[in-house]
Amino acid sequence: MTTGLDYNGPINGNYYIAYVQADTDTMRSLGMGSVYWPGLRNGDSYSMETLHGSGTALTLTNNNASSTLTACNSPAPRPLKGQWP
């Protein structure tokens, strides 16, 4: 996420931050998990990683630690009662 937003900080009227915080808060309150994982997509500002190098000398860097922390702090998904064997 290359926008430079702090998804763990105050919303300050930013609807992108508000959406991510509300989404994770809602999932957490319902005891659910959720995944949006654009781990690596070139040219996508929501990509969590950026690819560097060429050929076989490739590396990844984390674009925004606060977005990774928000995603990782969500609870693990659980099956609904009676839904899975």
Contact 63, 49 (CB under 8 A): yes
| Residues in the chain with pLDDT values less than 50 | 71, 74-80, 83-85
Ramachandran area for residue 53 (φ above 0: left; ψ -120 to 50: alpha; else beta): left
Q: Which pLDDT value is given to residue 77?
A: 47
Task: Return d(Cα 63, Cα 44) in angstroms, integer.
Answer: 11
pTM of the shown model:
0.51
3-state DSSP assignment of residue 60 = strand
Q: Which pLDDT value is given to residue 83?
A: 47
3-state DSSP assignment of residue 26 = helix
Q: Which pLDDT value is given to residue 34?
A: 76
E strand residue ranges, 1-85: 49-54, 57-62
